[in-house]
Structure 1
């Protein structure tokens, strides 16, 4: 397997950001004998949270066929498809992307996965594997040591009789789980009420802030009532669990909110949050890379609490991409309302990409700005 041939595109690409790492290689090495045992029957191998295709394509290189995959970010799903094409795989030979659930895992005997940083995500995934995969399933879950914790062993131990730990190599390690427990069903998605905001939050495992409301979003909601009050529609970009979308729809009874997130878990959670707050018919949720599903100059209000990391990589390119998407979709005079950690100093970037930017509110940690989209130049 030529890992150097893999790319991250259409996800963020920059010096120092690789499409495969030592953890991917270790997972494939530790699972080699298990993969050899199931190489014949198609559909025995499932890959979960593969970053850009190294695990799925590596398993196929080891002889696996009919590989099923689930990647949370839509950009990772597309990167895998592009890498499969780059390696010359015919369309009908490529891994099949499926939603996280019974259809993905039914009959699986080997599961390869990158360990998520969220214990909630690990709990939801492990519960689904234990419930739906074959009773002889073996799970090879690996990651970089700096992102692993002993609590991950405990989470896997809740769902599996045995959890083995491999030797570390190149600052990576693999947990091997087997013997799925026959116990209570998974309780995901979960919900909780935020009494201060009067909002019910519903979330799948791994969604940013879970069933809570992060302090940046809470600060933003405190001033969002003044944002383009006569807009007929609004966009909740990088919507997460859908708190902003549900709050806006509740506060403005005639408003339609178009929410989007590249995460499958977020895109599944946001509609549930909307329904739980009685605004499901006015919140439209799309899994998308930015705002690719919306036309240019079509919206007067975009709201954003931008993530500043892509998986484990911290990079300003993520915010730059989202600001550019907001600028493209905003109609002239429309506004992007954004909350950000003050130390990131996004204001010059917002001025350059979107347009004139004013400070709406600031506290010791966060800044809320409103950036007005410039009118198009006659020569543009």
Structure 2
């Protein structure tokens, strides 16, 4: 249902499009389902992966919560939360640098895309929250599976689903069963000579996706100077660049990716040549300071395909590259990225192409 407070919220500084919203039906259902719990424990609320602040600010403004703690994997979500808090004049929350459920009584979660991400959240909440905690996990019905119940059931005694509303549903878990975390997961890839460490929300987990494999084949065998693995994920490209001789900055907006990339660099003996940071589109990197950028850009905003996500990364690469510097990019062959790369970065040539993936090299003028 419409709400005057929630209707004020914006996606800024996230990408905007007619089919993308700042507050969805899942946000509203989570807040309604947890209303009684929030009222009973106003100082024990934790929100997880609140995409634009609706859960955190809604718990404060609509249900009287105080001292809400908010953890989001994506840096952009933190920025959107801060912008919406300023827009609405809402205080009474703290942003956590890492997921910490200590003492939480009510936990609201926007369901992540992967089961591993959900598992790490459930394990962390079960291990750290108050024994009376209630965990609410909401999502669109079409993206929720019975396997999610099983994942929650591994860390909680009782799991049930609410009735659906406006094509959204909430899973409710109680009775935490504390245990050791199963993350990060670690897998060796002998064909690549790389060991991958991955936390739950890291893209592709411990696998090396075929797009990254295509880009690995295009990386220089030897090099020097400063290189960036933009949108580094688990840090596979960063490891390869460090082995080639570059001083590498591995950057990702995902906290899980940053933790994973650091662990991957350590496992492969290149931690002294790889600096890993959580950043939004290289905001902390000096313009014209980089010789090479490697990027396997995402093309989904949640579950929606949107070219604007990759375009922001191309613009970031163009800003930080020195004249003559190069951006190596891999993307799905059906996507029209080459025109954007020519426009934003500079002359762009095809390095390789198959029915699924294209690798291009763009030179900064």
Bin for the TM-score computed over the shorter chain: over 0.9
**TM superposition outliers: structure 1 runs of 4+ over 6 Å:** none
Per the TM alignment, residue 255 of structure 1 is displaced from its structure 2 partner at its CA by 1.8
Is the aligned partner of 1:119 residue 2:83? no
* Counterpart for residue 270 of structure 1: 261
3-state SS in 1 of match to 2:154: helix
| Contact 1:231 1:301 (8 Å CA) reproduced | no
Cα distance in 1, alignment partners of residues 83 and 246 from structure 2 = 38
1:210 aligns with 2:205: yes
Q: Distance in 2 between matches of 1:348 and 1:339?
A: 14
Q: Secondary structure at the match of 1:267?
A: helix
Deviations 1:61-94 (A, max 9, x none): 20110100101111100111111111113xxx34
Structure 1 residue 353 corresponds to structure 2 residue 341: no
What is the aligned-residue RMSD (CA, Å)? 1.1
Q: 1:225 aligns with which of 206, 215, 220?
A: 220
Contact 1:53/1:79, CA 8 A, preserved across alignment:
yes
Aligned to 2:247: 256
Q: Does 1:338 align with 2:334?
A: no
Aligned to 1:239: 232
**Is the contact made by 1:46 and 1:110 (CA closer than 8 Å) also made in structure 2?**
yes
Question: How many Å separate the matches in 1 of 2:79 and 2:92?
Answer: 12
Counterpart of 2:320 in structure 1 is 329
Aligned-partner Cα distance in 2 for 1:280–1:301: 19
Equivalent position of 1:17 in the other structure? 20
Matched residues in 2 for 1:278 and 1:231: separation?
18
Q: Aligned equivalents of 1:53 and 1:357: distance in 2? A: 38
Give how far 1:345 is off: 2.6
> Secondary structure of the residue that 1:303 maps to in structure 2?
strand
Is the Cα contact below 8 Å between 2:75 and 2:255 reproduced in 1? yes
User: Under a length normalisation based on structure 2, what TM-score does the superposition of the two structures give?
Assistant: 0.97
Q: What is the SS of the residue equivalent to 1:207? A: coil
1:19-34 paired onto structure 2 within 5 Å: 19-34=22-37
Q: Counterpart in 1 of 2:54? A: 54
1:296 Cα deviation (Å)? 1.0
Q: Contact 1:164–1:176 (CA<8 Å) still a contact in 2?
A: yes
Normalising by structure 1, what TM-score? 0.93
Contact 1:238/1:261, CA 8 A, preserved across alignment: yes
Aligned to 2:192: 197
Q: Secondary structure at the match of 2:220?
A: helix
SS of the residue corresponding to residue 46 of structure 1 reads: strand
1:208-260 Cα distance to aligned partner (Å, 9 max, x none): 1101100010111112126xx5431211000000000012112x2x4210110
- CA distance in structure 2 between the partners assigned to 1:100 and 1:188 by the alignment: 14
Unaligned runs of 5+ in 1: 375-380
- What does the per-residue CA deviation read over 1:94-147, in whole Å, with 9 as the maximum and x for residues that have no partner? 42111334xx21111110111111100000000000000000000111011111
Q: Distance in 2 between matches of 1:319 and 1:49?
A: 21
Q: Deviations over 1:243-294 (max 9, x none)?
A: 00012112x2x42101100111111111110010000010011101111111
1:74 pairs with 2:75: yes
Q: Does 1:178 align with 2:174?
A: yes
Q: Would you say the 8 A contact 1:47–1:55 is kept in 2? A: yes
How far did residue 156 of structure 1 move?
0.4
What are the superposed Cα offsets for residues 137-167 of structure 1, whole Å, 9 maximum, x if unpaired? 0011101111111100000001000001100
User: For the Cα contact (< 8 Å) 1:84–1:94, is it kept in 2?
Assistant: no
* Partner residue in 2 for 1:302: 293
The 2-side partners of 1:211 and 1:230 are apart by: 27
Aligned twin of 1:188: 183
**Alignment partner of 2:362: what SS?**
strand
Does residue 157 (structure 1) correspond to residue 153 (structure 2)? The answer is yes
Secondary structure (helix, strand or coil) at the match of 2:104 reads coil
